[in-house]
């Protein structure tokens, strides 16, 4: 059976153990196992559950029998695996890998491929639909206070039909409206609330449960093929009898589209709210955040966590000229302006910088506004494959 770009299927694993333990038919786990077993890749990068459900651990697996460890999903997996690959796996220079990625991770990988920091031919992206992730500690507090459940008793959390559903070890189930939680400053991370890519169309294959209806509801995933590479892989996995597929029905396709559309609209609304009346230039946006940034203790956490801040010799630490005078705290505005200049075209709203900031500054919020202005001006959208030149790389700029 020939598979091609644009094809959509319902799919589930033919491996009983993976089907049982994996999420919605265990398709992602099965593909990963297949790729390793057949030496198509040297390793797979996945997220495993660590100490508990709130502890998401990035992991490189090289033995196909170990892939089962990564079955299931963790909504507190807020990391960006692009950093793991570019920093710790040397951008896949010497090894071929496959990874499971959220849309903001596939976007960041695409940006890093454009900048030569990840070798695109050596990476296979199995994307997963994403409605949002939650910061682990805040989530534990919220479960205790709002759900009145001991976070240790939670076995699963799920976002469905606008609700955050929590299931306990005793089989209890409680849900609250995500909208309401977010109005109270709880729920998904702020960058997730304004996220504008929910189905990772820039990965090779996208997998999720949206739109799986009928006899396979809850037992299979909806798979969409987004590249030739993805098509070839899926074709092999099916031919070698690792997964079973069925054509999705029209109702399922429509439901998936509807969910995606409503999530994107919510993202747009949150972004609009964030930008507010900041309709001027980048400097105006920067001014608006000055009070907030005056709390910066210059710990370099945002720079360290940002997957798109990758220079080995960072100019912020150069001896002279003294870009950031004196090493004082709070950091001089130039500290952030320098970082802004370095990644303004590339920020993918992944939220890592806000996540780590000890002063709880909405770093990603400002970069999101600034990146939005660059996109509007240059028609260049970070995280997407494009033939357009990267802004600020040529005179005159050809749009
Ligand atoms: S930014 Fe988007 S893709 Fe990334 S975790 Fe949040 S909702 Fe998911
Ligand atoms: S600046 Fe923040 S949101 Fe943007 S790519 Fe870096 S870590 Fe992600
Ligand atoms: S993480 Fe926060 S406190 Fe640390 S340098 Fe960045 S903005 Fe400043």
pLDDT digits (tens, 9 = 90+) for 283-295: 899 999 999 999 9
3-state secondary structure of 24: coil
User: What number is the average pLDDT over the span 100-109?
Assistant: 97
Structure tokens of 97? 């890998």
Confidence class for position 77, pLDDT limits 50, 70, 90? confident
Domain ranges of the chain: 8-133+197-266, 136-187, 276-378
Confidence class for position 392, pLDDT limits 50, 70, 90? confident
User: What number is the average pLDDT over the span 159-168?
Assistant: 89
Average pLDDT over the chain, rounded to an integer: 92
pLDDT reading at 12 higher than 70: yes
- Quick: pLDDT tens for 27-40: 999 999 999 999 99
pLDDT reading at 362 higher than 70: yes
HEC assignment per residue over 318-332: CCCCCCCHHHCCCCC
Residue with tokens 């030149």: 389
Rounded distance, CA 308 to CA 114, Å?
A: 11
Confidence class for position 71, pLDDT limits 50, 70, 90? confident
* pLDDT recorded at residue 264: 96
Q: Atom 3 (ligand 3): residue with closest C-alpha?
A: 296
- DSSP class of residue 398? P
Are 333 and 286 within 8 A, CB to CB?
A: yes
Structure tokens of 48? 């495993």
Q: Which residues pair with 60 in a beta bridge?
A: 45
Confidence class for position 204, pLDDT limits 50, 70, 90? very high
Q: Atom 1 (ligand 1): residue with closest C-alpha?
A: 192
Question: Length of the chain, please?
Answer: 399
Rounded distance, CA 245 to CA 281, Å?
A: 50
Residues whose beta carbon lies within 6 Å of some atom of ligand 1: 102-104, 130, 132-133, 191-192, 195, 349-351
- Quick: pLDDT tens for 124-145: 999 999 999 999 999 999 999 9
Does domain 136-187 fall under CATH 3.30.1360? My reply is no
Please identify, by atom number, the ligand 3 atom nearest to the C-alpha of residue 353.
Answer: 1
Please identify, by atom number, the ligand 1 atom nearest to the C-alpha of residue 107.
Answer: 3
Q: By C-alpha distance, which of 126, 145, 128 is closest to 75?
A: 128
Distance from Cα 192 to the centre of ligand 1, integer Å: 5
Residue with tokens 């509801």: 217
Rounded distance, CA 86 to CA 268, Å?
A: 30
The model's pTM is 0.94
Cα angle 72-73-75, degrees, rounded to a multiple of 5? 160
Distance from Cα 37 to the centre of ligand 2, integer Å: 35
User: What number is the average pLDDT over the span 202-228?
Assistant: 97
CB atoms within 10 A of CB 114: 18
Contacts of 121 (CB under 8 A, 6+ apart): none
User: What number is the average pLDDT over the span 149-177?
Assistant: 91
Structure tokens of 101? 């990625």
Distance from Cα 206 to the centre of ligand 2, integer Å: 23
Cα angle 151-172-216, degrees, rounded to a multiple of 5? 110
User: What number is the average pLDDT over the span 247-263?
Assistant: 96
* pLDDT recorded at residue 327: 66
Q: Atom 8 (ligand 2): residue with closest C-alpha?
A: 350
The class (CATH top level) of 8-133+197-266 is alpha beta
- Quick: pLDDT tens for 293-334: 999 998 999 999 999 998 888 888 766 555 556 667 778 888
> 235 or 161: which carries more pLDDT confidence?
235
Ligand 3 neighbour 304 (Cβ under 6 A): no
User: What number is the average pLDDT over the span 47-64?
Assistant: 94
* pLDDT recorded at residue 235: 98
Contacts of 269 (CB under 8 A, 6+ apart): none
| Ligand lying nearest the CA atom of residue 345 | 2
Alpha helices per DSSP H over 245-351: 250-275, 282-288, 290-293, 301-305, 333-343
* pLDDT recorded at residue 322: 59
- Exposed/middle/buried for residue 94 (C-beta within 10 Å: 0-12, 13-18, 19+): exposed
* pLDDT recorded at residue 325: 62
Residue with tokens 């997957």: 307
Distance from Cα 300 to the centre of ligand 3, integer Å: 6
Of the residues 303, 357, 364, which should be mutated to test ligand 3's pocket, given the most ligand atoms within 8 Å of the CB?
357
* pLDDT recorded at residue 319: 62
Rounded distance, CA 101 to CA 189, Å?
A: 17
Structure tokens of 338? 């320098």
Q: Residue 178: enclosing H or E segment and its boundaries? A: helix 178-183
């Amino acid at each position: 059976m020939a598979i091609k770009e644009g094809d959509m299927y319902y799919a589930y694993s033919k491996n009983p153990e993976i089907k049982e333990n994996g999420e919605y038919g265990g398709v992602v786990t099965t593909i990963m196992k297949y790729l390793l077993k057949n030496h198509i890749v040297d390793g797979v990068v996945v997220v495993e559950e660590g100490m508990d459900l709130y502890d998401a651990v990035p992991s490189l697996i090289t033995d196909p029998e170990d892939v089962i460890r990564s079955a299931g999903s963790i909504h507190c997996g807020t990391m960006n695996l692009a950093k793991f690959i570019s920093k710790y796996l040397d951008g896949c220079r010497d090894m071929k890998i496959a990874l499971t990625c959220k849309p903001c991770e596939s976007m960041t990988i695409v940006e890093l491929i454009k900048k030569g920091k990840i070798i695109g031919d050596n990476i296979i992206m199995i994307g997963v639909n994403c409605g949002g992730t939650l910061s682990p500690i805040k989530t534990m507090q919220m479960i205790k206070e709002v759900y009145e459940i001991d976070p240790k008793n939670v076995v699963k959390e799920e976002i469905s039909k606008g609700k955050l559903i929590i299931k306990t070890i005793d089989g209890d189930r409680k849900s609250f409206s995500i909208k309401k939680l977010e109005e109270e400053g709880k729920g998904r991370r702020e960058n997730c609330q304004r996220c504008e890519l929910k189905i990772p169309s820039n990965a090779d294959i996208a997998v999720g449960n949206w739109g799986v209806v009928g006899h396979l509801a809850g037992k299979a995933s909806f798979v969409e093929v987004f590249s030739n590479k993805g098509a070839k892989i899926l074709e092999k996995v099916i031919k070698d009898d690792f997964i079973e597929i069925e054509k999705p029905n029209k109702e399922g396709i429509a439901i998936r589209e509807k969910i995606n559309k409503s999530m994107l609209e919510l993202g747009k609304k949150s972004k609009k709210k964030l930008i507010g009346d900041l309709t001027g230039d980048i400097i105006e946006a920067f001014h608006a955040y000055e009070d907030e940034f005056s709390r910066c203790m210059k710990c370099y956490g945002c720079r360290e966590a940002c997957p798109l801040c990758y220079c080995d010799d960072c100019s912020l630490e150069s001896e002279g000229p003294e870009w950031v005078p004196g090493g004082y705290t709070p950091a001089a505005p130039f500290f952030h302006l320098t970082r802004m200049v370095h990644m303004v075209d590339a920020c993918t709203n992944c939220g890592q910088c806000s996540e780590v900031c000890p002063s709880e500054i909405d770093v990603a919020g400002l970069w999101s506004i600034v990146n939005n202005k660059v996109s509007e001006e240059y028609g260049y959208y970070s995280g997407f494959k494009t033939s357009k030149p990267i802004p600020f790389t040529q005179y005159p700029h050809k749009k």
